[in-house]
Chain A
């Protein structure tokens, strides 16, 4: 970036999209250290993987359309659900909100010009790309994509001839990328808050990202070494988890879930942060229980690291451990419920302006309530032993992650999209897409939960006659869902290229991102603002 270009951009408040840097075109994006451009780079990449993941899921549903072999062999089905899981978890949802919305809005919302380590931020995207390339190699070389499921449980992940080693290495690199994002966010929140922006004046989205960042830094390395140990066993025969060499396969599950359970909070916390932004804006009032919501994010991150063993009730861990884990798991419900009650209390008797982002926040609440309450059922050992490894778990997981976290991300795209690319979306098609998504989503996953409770096991490519009708409903639901998703993506792309110009503050939001031009200039603020009150100060408008 040449000095003059930067100076001019700052003086004229030129949009970050128009600034001419050292490179132009594609290079101006992939070598940019601007947090906003990196945020959009992430957005483009994660949605590319999201679409691939959607179609993998659709193919799995099509396989279940009839009994017996419909589209693919059992072996192919195994690879498909592995790829679906790996892509949706590691490539889509983990970087899905922190990498996109977090990168774009964390610095703006705390009044900073960029993240603390801008070049490290770019490196983390490049690592993401490297992981993606490795994963592609894993799919198309040698014996092809792993067929282990995204959990890579030993001993099968050591014995299978498929490309597990490469897939694990890709996941390892993505973990590194995720760690760098977390590290950067923690340093940014601690060092770059605008004058007067105390911790208790930060928007709730920042609180959720901050809690998430700690999980990224503290839990990811543990899964990193675990995956490395599997790679070592596959390549050098160091059988740390191999019973023939005195190893314990269940230790793999412990180490895996030490990360991967907190990881589900890592996926959902930023979604909760988004909802905490959307609700006060459209309710036109200060959020109810700001400190409770803020600290409940920290609480969820904290308690979330204590409960990994609830994935292992049937693994052969000691019953003492199961009881302890079950007991601790129920505690996660407390900070989660605190959030839900405060959101609902904010809406109570508010003069709500119903817009698409708000509808998505409501969809989040509805889905997350079902996902969260079935989570409590799973936490109870007796119920979980019954439903373990059935569609009930799959349904529960999709209600929390997809219906919860990802719907919050969709909401954020409509809420912050106008700020990011400066264009409004077509409201009617957005609403139609949402309705299709809601119908499809609930047809698919509610039916799955029902089937699971009846005993339909997960990861089977075939089903028994008594499940046929339900499978039919679920598959038809998946068609609605995919149509709704594609329509939404179309609406957003249309808004980017053909949408009406967005005003500076279309929703009447009170956080800092609404006080900078749309789209924001290169360094966000001409003059760094001094903060004198909390983030959701709607008082003036209410009076």
Chain B
């Protein structure tokens, strides 16, 4: 169950319309290491997670990722809301515009639609937590790449906030992996899946 809070997790006030950077940033909306995939990954993995504190962590981080998904949507919206047909033609935004006008649609920067194959929910504690650690680093790399391509200070400020959250979540998943390893029987560490065999 969720409740909607009528505010963004981090405030956004982008003054300058810029369809070029919108097309890059949309990758964190629906791209391979984006916030939608992040949220769906954690919220899907938690059902079979046998350890309540780790299932709780997946729920809480999955929930925060939804707030990040909303922030990325808001950034793309603010970067494109005042576009003129002329600007759309001259900025490379036309291929997106023809299918979606100025609406948000989850896709990667290269135009590939969001796909659940971009994340895993494997039903094995060790496998899933390693996926989560990698996912946080992949998202951090994407934010680093965005920061190299974008100069707008209003956009960079929000992207830096999101980048820092990837690092914190990586830390929490590392702690979760250590907790899980401590709970597993050392004798059959690699032969036993507590999400299935117990």
- Check if A and B associate: no
A contact residues vs B (CB 8 Å cutoff): none
